A and B are shown apart, each in its own frame.
Chain A
């Protein structure tokens, strides 16, 4: 990453950021839209902004996306 880009990432703070708590509530719905090939940023714009800036929520998002993809469609027997 160039110094310029690194600085932009370091100072990323975009208006409309929904914050951690709002994202936690809807993270499953957000991930489901991604798995369906839809753009979750259209439905949850504030969370899309937040996930680009918050390392903790980003890690949770990546984990849930991978889990939902890998362990999908399990029916109760």
Chain B
């Protein structure tokens, strides 16, 4: 974890949430848990709507069911970890994090079950049309893209699969993690290493890539 800052003074509302949720024998525990569940459900609905693009095939009842599952699972997690709340945010923001993660994971699982990435999504063939050299491109740009193509061919097999799927074919990182029986963090590491390797190879070929916000 990044070091960040020291614990802030916990605000009164957050303290109240924690007191009521920390132990089941608090007189207002059940009521507070029910209230929090209602909030988590609203966040789940909102978050699912925001990610609707990856769930186009899901109808109303299934959509609601998914929201309920996410809220239920998030509430279980929050109640199990209330004692870990460090007061770095409002309690509700901390609790919403759990439901956002649940929605994220459930959307990926649904998308993977519905349409898992196939061999064509992971296999390296050529640059997609949006990137491929065009007749009107300047020579320098054509050479850059040819250097990129050559560098992709030199990645390790795993780095190439991950880079091609995520960066070139727009496969979701979480869907790819499910397909490769891995997790987001490990897949991201593969992607990061692939990008570093490609940049190094392109620089060695005389085509360095520098992001504007990295120059300072």
Chain A contact residues, CB within 8 Å of chain B: 3-4, 6-14, 17-29, 31-32, 43-47, 52-57, 59-60, 62-64, 66-68, 70-77
Among A23, A68, A76, the residue within 8 A (CB) of B35 is A76
Closest chain-B Cβ to A56's Cβ sits at a distance in Å of 4
Once bound together, how far apart are the Cα atoms of A24 and B174, in whole Å?
A: 14
**How many residues of B sit at the interface, in one of the four size bands?**
35 or more
Q: Is B100 a contact of A64 with CB atoms below 8 Å?
A: yes
- CB of B52 within 8 Å of the partner chain: no
Partner of A54, one of B16, B28, B36, B188: B188
- Tell me the B residues contacting A by CB distance below 8 Å: 1-2, 4-5, 13, 16-17, 20, 28, 31-32, 35-36, 39, 42-43, 46-47, 50-51, 88-90, 92-94, 96-97, 99-101, 103-104, 130-131, 137, 141, 144-145, 148, 166-168, 172-174, 184-185, 188-189, 192, 195-196, 198-199, 202, 209-214
Majority DSSP secondary structure for residues of A touching B: helix
